[in-house]
Amino acid sequence: MTTAHDAGHGERDPLGTLKTCFGYEAFRPGQREVIDAILAGQNVLAVMPTGTGKSLCYQIPALILEGLTVVISPLISLMNDQIKALRESGVAAACLNSSLSPEEYRSAVDDAISGACRILYVAPERLGKEETRRITLSRPIPLVVVDEAHCVSHWGHDFRPSYLQIRDFIAGLPGGPLTAAFTATATGRVREDIIASLGMGDPFCVTTGFDRPNLYFAVERPRDKLAALVKFLDSRKDKSGIVYCSARRTVEDVAAALAARGFPAARYHAGLEDGERRINQEDFINDRKSVMVATNAFGMGIDKSNVAFVVHYNMPKNIESYYQEAGRAGRDGSPAECVLFYSPQDVHTNRFLIERSGDGADAPDQEQIARQLELLKLMTFYSTGTDCLRAHILRYFGENPPGYCGNCSHCLTNYKARDITVEAQKILSCVYRLHQRGRSVGKTAIINILRGSEEKRIFDNRWNTLSTYGIMKDTSAHQARLIMDYLVEQGFLAVAEGEFPTVGLTAKAREIIAGKRPLSMMLPEGPAPAPPVQAAAEVPVDEGLLARLKALRRRFAQEAHVPAYIIFSDATLTDMCRKRPATPEAFRHVNGVGDVKLEKYGAAFIECIQADSAPP
């Protein structure tokens, strides 16, 4: 397959390639610097958040440099989407991964060897295969791209042993190709590990900043997570979003509950048959289902631009995972919401999973488990603190943000310092009285005792005879839980891990029980805030025309068997509505319209726009 973009790019400049091939007039921050460094012969490490255009940073050099660029990626869905998008833009590309049929695999190998493609995506597990070696010996390889480069680091949140062979693979290539490593999230330690692990020497490094101003962050502690989720979705029925759950069983339960309530929800986890996962993913990508309920097995490499919200039904194990998953919202720059439903049980579950990962022959060592537990602690601080959520994330990645962002639930909540000395003494005394009777129980049982619950278990165990029974009956269960969680976080209470976690006193608790020191904490005043209303666009969009353009896009996508956003993104359709191009030359100035797409789709979209503009 040869197109206008397969050859001759050696004479083109990066900006010209950006416009003629991908349809954009200007580079985003960091893109030009990375491209120029590669074209100048430097290794590159680029840390660029989701939605900032990382792929263009290596695709444009690949179209300018002579030979075949190899892109190493662990994400089959990303490879397949990137291939479809590149081909729609007139770029010949191929991939080698386990999703291909034998015939497709042979065809990809033949195209790579013959020079019929410029970019080859390869799963790291395929690097040592004989066919990969034949390809790399048959063509000049000027550039090797390592996508999701944090996977090479033991210090990262998603270490993959298969990435350790990349350095030897690159070293074995003729001609000494350049290495360009890309990731959306990496701390300073992870960045150093990437450079060392890939043998990059002294690369050009760029970090464009981790902030995504269009994302609203919120943490909630709902008494009933499912009820809170249903309420959240009820007011967003016209929007598309992802609900992340930590376990397959939770995905099953939540997806079934949403479907029973009439929500168009799909499910996704590693325990499903490949066919169902593929169908459910396609239904979500093509907007046939608006809500995807999934484990973290879903989303890596899914370039769906109109995800308006990401809800974490359970707390993830670390901030990097959370920010990467939450960052799948608002990829097109539109306002989007990232909401975390926190419960203390999430901490216990994650700790259990991390510690259990030490079992088995291929398990991580104890040092790595300790690192994962430290990362879990930082994620817990994010979920239970009262500081600006955005600032908490950005500080984790080494930035120095202001303490107020105005676009997170903490900044918009009126927190006030409250003396909780008396409440703390009551809680700690209850735990002490239970200990005197030789009993240790969980948080819920303690709160029920303090609030004077009349449930059968309390009377069966004669806990109603405790001196602390009912002494917090005027305090809500939610408020009592907040204070108890704070006592755990501050080290006055300790939680004994196990199938049924129980609460015990620490030596530090004596100071509070004895009244030797006061204790205060920040508590919210009033209900949880709603996301701030975003300012209206300067040029209003004709929603009727936008709907007709989406319908036309859907028809072309169905004919091409690709997701609709690969034809044109929502942002591109919105730009069409605002500019209303009447000629091919005017259509060419719509963001996201390159030469090939102008030729393939321009006439039809112009006709749709002009028909809408015609007088009745």
- For the segment 467-521, what is each residue's pLDDT rounded down to a tens digit? 999 999 999 887 898 899 889 888 899 988 666 788 999 999 998 988 888 999 8
Domain covering 215-412, topology: Rossmann fold (3.40.50)
Closest to 142 in 3D by CA, of 198, 58, 67, 46: 67
d(CA 61, CA 10): 9
CATH class of 417-525: mainly alpha
More confident residue, 533 or 325: 325
* Contact indicator for 183, 150 with CB cutoff of 8 Å: yes
Contacts of 357 (CB under 8 A, 6+ apart): 363, 364, 369, 372
Cβ atoms within 10 Å, residue 564: 23
pTM given for the model: 0.74
Q: pLDDT category, 614, cuts 50, 70, 90?
A: low
Q: pLDDT category, 9, cuts 50, 70, 90?
A: very low
Q: pLDDT category, 302, cuts 50, 70, 90?
A: low
Report in angstroms the alpha-carbon separations of 306 from 80, 134, 239, 256, 445: 19, 40, 8, 24, 44
Per mean pLDDT, which of 71-75, 314-318, 608-612 is the most reliable? 314-318
The whole-chain average pLDDT of the chain stands at: 88
Q: pLDDT category, 4, cuts 50, 70, 90?
A: very low
Q: pLDDT category, 613, cuts 50, 70, 90?
A: low
Residue range 196-213: mean pLDDT, rounded: 92
Res. 28: pLDDT tops 70: yes
**Residues of 8-41 as b/e, b for ≥16 C-beta within 10 angstroms?**
ebeebebeebbbbbbbbeebeebbbbbbebbbee
Residue range 181-209: mean pLDDT, rounded: 91
3-class state of residue 497 by DSSP: coil
Q: Where are the domains of the chain?
A: 9-207, 215-412, 417-525, 543-613
Res. 246: pLDDT tops 80: yes
The predicted structure's pLDDT at residue 289: 93
d(CA 191, CA 181): 10
d(CA 556, CA 543): 20
Contacts of 127 (CB under 8 A, 6+ apart): 72, 165, 166, 169
d(CA 337, CA 316): 17
More confident residue, 564 or 606: 606
* Contact indicator for 27, 15 with CB cutoff of 8 Å: yes
Res. 534: pLDDT tops 80: no
The predicted structure's pLDDT at residue 8: 39
Tally of CA atoms within 13 A in the half-sphere of 488 that contains its CB:
26
d(CA 97, CA 162): 14
* Contact indicator for 70, 131 with CB cutoff of 8 Å: no
Report the first-to-last Cα separation within the chain, whole angstroms.
45
Burial of 98: CB neighbours in 10 Å, binned 0-12, 13-18, 19+: exposed
Question: Which residue do the tokens 């989701």 mark?
Answer: 50
CATH entry, 9-207, from 1.20.1050.10, 3.30.420.140, 3.40.50.300, 3.50.50.60: 3.40.50.300
Least confident of 111-125, 414-428, 491-505: 491-505
More confident residue, 240 or 303: 240
9-207 and 215-412 agree in CATH topology: yes
Res. 536: pLDDT tops 60: no
Q: Name the β-bridge partners of 122.
A: 72, 96
d(CA 395, CA 339): 19
Residue range 205-224: mean pLDDT, rounded: 92
The predicted structure's pLDDT at residue 477: 87
Q: pLDDT category, 363, cuts 50, 70, 90?
A: low
Q: Name the β-bridge partners of 121.
A: 71, 95
Q: Please give the torsion angle defined by the CA atoms of residues 110, 116, 119 and 123, in that order, rounded to the nearest 10 degrees.
A: -10
The predicted structure's pLDDT at residue 366: 81
Residue range 358-368: mean pLDDT, rounded: 65
The predicted structure's pLDDT at residue 535: 46
CATH class of 543-613: mainly alpha
Q: pLDDT category, 588, cuts 50, 70, 90?
A: very high
d(CA 168, CA 170): 5
Residue range 115-131: mean pLDDT, rounded: 92
Residue range 121-133: mean pLDDT, rounded: 91
Res. 6: pLDDT tops 60: no
Report in angstroms the alpha-carbon separations of 476 from 78, 175, 453, 492, 503: 47, 69, 12, 21, 20
**Residues of 351-367 as b/e, b for ≥16 C-beta within 10 angstroms?**
beebeeeeeeeeebeee
The predicted structure's pLDDT at residue 615: 54
d(CA 401, CA 395): 7
The predicted structure's pLDDT at residue 612: 64
For residue 365 the two structure tokens come to 């060592």
